[in-house]
Amino acid sequence: MITFINFYSKKIKKILKILIKVMKLRIIAGKHKGRRLKTLEGLNTRPMMDRMKESVFNILGPYFEGQIVLDLFGGSASLSLEALSRGCKMSYIVEMSRDAVKVINENVSSLHEVENVKIFNVDYKVALKKFASDNIKFDLIFLDPPYRLKIIDEIIKFLIDNNMISDNGNIICQYLKNNYQAQSIENDNNKLDIVKNYSYANSEVVIYEYIKVK
């Protein structure tokens, strides 16, 4: 019985790896519409699929005029490149994995977006401190940390405390269900409103809007 279960468990893992290998992401809209993107093989990155990405960007834009993007857990840079395709000016992409950074560089180069992207192969905490010290503000912030890390609250607090979000800027978070509780935040100086909260498969996506009160 154990041998039988192990056999099918291995078969399922093999099928999953094949599906991920052949799965292709694409740019949905804008100047790079239809262009295919590479993804990192394996189960270590979870790029947002086209259907969900399209829903998210339809709410955010769908098109932009010179906004600055922060992609704190870059993966394949799919979200950053979608934003640039739709009119954003610059994207700061942070990614710890060297293999993922290689894929990011290939995707950025293939779309000729090298001048509009800054890639940081460092821990997210190091990157956030640097951006804060450089007084950089972001209009779109994508947060898709590894599922094992429950750090979204911590990151959002840092961004607000260090005045790193533009007025009416958006934070987009993707996370494992029950790993994070989406909630609005309001104090005397600012508020963070939930624009939309999606649930699909075993994960959720929430879109926030940041508003300066004073």
Averaged in consecutive runs of 10 residues, what is the pLDDT profile of the chain (214 residues)?
A: 52 49 77 94 64 91 96 96 98 96 97 98 98 98 92 96 96 91 90 92 92 82
114 by Cβ neighbours in 10 Å (0-12 / 13-18 / 19+) ranks as exposed
Query: Residue 212 has what pLDDT?
Result: 87
Question: Are the CB atoms for 35 and 183 separated by under 8 Å?
Answer: no
Query: Residue 22 has what pLDDT?
Result: 44
Beta carbons within 8 Å of 135's beta carbon, 6+ residues apart: none
176 by Cβ neighbours in 10 Å (0-12 / 13-18 / 19+) ranks as middle
23 by Cβ neighbours in 10 Å (0-12 / 13-18 / 19+) ranks as exposed
Element (H, E) at 84: helix 78-85
Q: CA-to-CA distance for 214 and 201, rounded, in angstroms?
A: 39
Question: pTM of the entire structure?
Answer: 0.86
Query: Residue 51 has what pLDDT?
Result: 82
Domains of the chain, earliest start first: 2-212 (3.40.50.150)
Residue type, 128: L
